[in-house]
Structures are given as structure tokens and as C-alpha cells.
């Protein structure tokens, strides 16, 4: 099976700085099952890179491997030039990798404030923390309102905002979002994508895993389309959006004969 992997030339000239995240030929599995069969992506500083594809294509697995939750079987993960594959999640967090997990995974019995406080555990600076909090209260007013309420009492959308804020509060160098729109109402989804757009505008480097390919491609700079643990397509998101039959990828079709 051919990988119809297309890398499209970067526009513009000049030396291109090394990507902040470089994944090469990553192979990851669970027990007897191999999920990623040699995946290579990179993310440059300030970019918003999106990873799309159907359920089970391996997108979350990729994020989890970068975050240290899963150990790769082979291949390399380089962050800021250092090899980080297989390192512990808490150490990677210190290096500046922050994952907002699929399903939010906020701590239900901890208050909003406590959830946020944990988010900064590995990289805490009191003054910065206070300043950041004030900032996030503007971005996510709901957090200020519910600061002392248990996380479990928040609605899905509010939890997602909390999870994102929690992921940001450590001022990571790379923010990874795993299916942020999953299970949310359409209004909420709009809000979340607006939020992501705002974050990108602030220069935060984002790696976004998102099943909703259309919306993801709208805001991303570049995108990779996953299928069955491999990359099927990659390139600038606007070009991808135009040329690829989105529904076919969305529904997992690799029927051959797709136009590019």
C-alpha cells in the first residue's frame, strides 16, 4: 500500500529553524497490537498543526507518545532538539510539553482553582501564576465564576475550557489538544475553536488532534491526515482542504484513486 504522503514546499525563503517537535518513524503499540506503524510529523514554533482522521487511526496514540504516557517501540521523538521518546510524562511537562487529554480528564473532586494549580505543578512561579490567572479569567470568564466549585460540577464545555486553561497555565512550549470538541454541543464547539484561534494568534505552538477535519483545517496552518496508524496526506491546510475528498478521509476511505 502506497503512502500517498505529499509534502508541499514551504513558501518563502531563508533558513528554516528546526521544528520544535520532530517525530520520526514512530512505532507504538499496546501489547500485541501495533497502532502506529512508522509515523513522522513535525511542528514548528508558532504553528498550529492539525492531525485528522477517523477513530482508531492512531491520533491520540501519537499525542500520548509525545507526552510520555506511551513508550515508543522504535523511532524518535525530538523536542527542542533533544530526544525525549519514552521519558516520563512529568519530566516532559517540565521540558514544556503540555497535553490536554481526550475527554478532558479534569479532577472532578478538586475545585477549579485546584485543578489549575495542579496544572502548574511542574513549572510554578508565584508571580507568573497570579498574572496568568488574571489573564485566563478574561479569556475564560466562567473559570472565575466557578473558581471554588468542584470540577465535576462543570458542564462539558466548561470542563473543556478548564482543561485547556490547565494545560496552558504552565506556559508550555508545545500545547497538544486531543479532541477538544468531542461530545460538545455545536455552540460550545464554536467557542472552543474560537478559543484555539485566539491562542494561536498569541503565538502558542499547538498540535491539535481533531476528528472534525473541516473545522480543524479551517484554523490550522498545516495538517496531517491519519489512517490506520499511518499518515495518508500532509501539507498546508488550505490546499489540503481544497484538494482532498474530505468525506472519504473522514469516513476512512483509502479506496485508491483519490485525487490529489
Partner 1 sequence: MKRNNTADENTLAAASLGSRPYFNFSSKWSTVVLLVAILSGIGVFIWWLNIPFIEDIFTSSVITLISVLGFQLYMGNSGILNWSYVGYVGIGAFASAIFSMEPSLKAMQIPIMYPFLQKLHLPFIPAVLAGALVAMIIAAVVAWPLMRLSDAVGSITQFALLIVINVLLSQWAEVTNGPRTFTLGGSRQTTIWVALGFAILVITFVYYFKESSLGMKLRTSRDDRYAARSSGINFVKVRYQGYVTSAFIGGLAGGLYSHYILSITAGSFYMSELFKLLSMVVIGGSMSVSGAFFGALIVTLAQQGLRQLELGLTRSGFEAYGMSEIVVAILMILFLILRPNGVTGGRELSLEALRNLFRPKQYTNNNGNKK
Partner 2 sequence: MSANIFIEFVINVLSMGSLYALIALGLVFVYGICNLVNFAYGEFITVSAYVLYFVGTFTDLPWWLVFLIAIGSGALTGFLSELIAFRPFRGRSLDALLVTSFAVSIILQRSFQLGISPRSRAVPVPDFFNINVSLLGVVTPLRNMLLIGTTIILLIAVLILMRRTSLGIAMRGASENFVTARLMGVPANLVISIAFVISGILAGVVAIFWSARTGSVEPMMGSGPLLIGFISVVIGGMQSLVGAVVGGYVYAFIANMLSLTLPSSLLSFRDAIMFVIVIAFLVLKPEGLIRGKYQEERVG
Using an 8 Å Cβ cutoff, are 158 and 140 in contact? no
Distance of CA 80 to the CA centre of its chain: 17
Locate cell 477517523: which residue? 54
User: What element of type H or E holds 206?
Assistant: strand 206-209
State the nearest-atom distance from the C-beta of 202 to partner 1, in Å. 41
Q: Contacting partner 1 (CB under 8 A), which of 1, 15, 32, 126?
A: 32
> Quick check: 60 binds partner 1 (CB under 8 A)?
no
Positions in 89-128 near partner 2 (CB under 8 A): 89-90, 93-94, 98-99, 101, 105, 107-110, 114-115, 117-124
14: which residues sit within 8 A by CB, 6+ positions away?
none
Q: Which is nearer to partner 1, 29 or 253 (CB)?
A: 29
> Quick check: 30 binds partner 1 (CB under 8 A)?
yes
- Of 29-37, 54-62, 202-210, 223-231, the segment contacting partner 1 by CB under 8 A is 29-37
Q: Which three cell numbers stand for residue 185?
A: 454541543
> Quick check: 72 binds partner 2 (CB under 8 A)?
no
For residue 121, the partner it binds in partner 1, partner 2, none, with Cβ less than 5 to 8 A by kind, is partner 2
For residue 141, the partner it binds in partner 2, partner 1, none, with Cβ less than 5 to 8 A by kind, is none
For residue 188, the partner it binds in partner 1, partner 2, none, with Cβ less than 5 to 8 A by kind, is partner 2
Positions in 73-102 near partner 1 (CB under 8 A): none
Q: Which is nearer to partner 1, 33 or 251 (CB)?
A: 33
Using an 8 Å Cβ cutoff, are 14 and 33 in contact? no
Distance of CA 182 to the CA centre of its chain: 13
In angstroms, the first-to-last Cα distance of the chain is 16
User: What element of type H or E holds 49?
Assistant: strand 48-52
Helical packing angle, 126-139 and 156-168, nearest 10°: 150
For residue 30, the partner it binds in partner 2, partner 1, none, with Cβ less than 5 to 8 A by kind, is partner 1
Q: Which is nearer to partner 1, 65 or 159 (CB)?
A: 65
Amino acid at each position: 500500500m502506497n503512502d500517498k504522503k505529499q509534502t508541499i514546499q514551504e513558501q518563502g525563503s531563508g533558513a528554516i529553524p528546526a521544528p520544535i517537535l520532530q517525530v520520526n518513524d514512530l512505532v507504538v503499540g499496546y501489547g500485541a497490537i501495533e497502532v502506529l506503524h512508522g509515523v513522522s510529523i513535525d511542528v514548528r514554533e508558532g504553528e498550529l498543526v492539525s492531525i485528522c482522521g477517523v477513530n482508531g487511526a492512531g491520533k491520540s496514540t501519537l499525542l500520548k507518545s509525545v507526552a510520555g504516557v506511551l513508550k515508543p517501540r522504535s523511532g524518535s521523538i525530538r523536542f527542542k532538539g533533544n530526544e525525549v521518546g519514552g521519558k516520563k510524562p512529568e519530566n516532559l511537562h517540565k521540558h514544556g510539553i503540555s497535553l490536554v487529554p481526550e475527554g478532558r480528564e479534569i479532577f472532578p473532586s478538586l475545585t477549579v482553582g485546584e485543578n489549575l494549580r495542579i496544572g502548574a505543578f511542574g513549572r510554578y512561579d508565584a508571580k507568573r501564576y497570579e498574572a496568568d490567572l488574571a489573564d485566563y479569567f478574561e479569556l475564560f470568564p466562567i473559570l472565575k465564576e466557578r473558581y471554588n466549585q468542584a470540577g465535576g460540577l462543570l458542564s462539558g464545555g466548561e470542563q473543556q475550557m478548564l482543561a485547556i486553561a490547565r494545560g496552558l497555565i504552565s506556559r508550555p512550549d508545545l500545547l497538544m489538544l486531543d479532541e477538544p470538541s468531542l461530545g460538545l454541543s455545536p455552540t460550545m464547539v464554536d467557542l472552543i475553536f474560537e478559543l484555539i484561534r485566539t491562542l494561536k494568534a498569541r503565538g502558542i505552538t499547538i498540535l491539535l488532534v481533531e476528528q472534525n477535519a473541516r473545522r480543524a483545517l479551517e484554523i490550522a496552518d498545516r495538517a496531517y491526515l491519519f489512517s490506520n496508524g499511518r499518515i495518508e496526506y500532509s501539507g498546508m491546510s488550505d490546499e489540503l482542504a481544497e484538494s482532498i475528498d474530505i468525506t472519504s478521509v473522514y469516513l476512512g476511505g483509502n479506496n485508491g484513486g483519490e485525487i490529489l
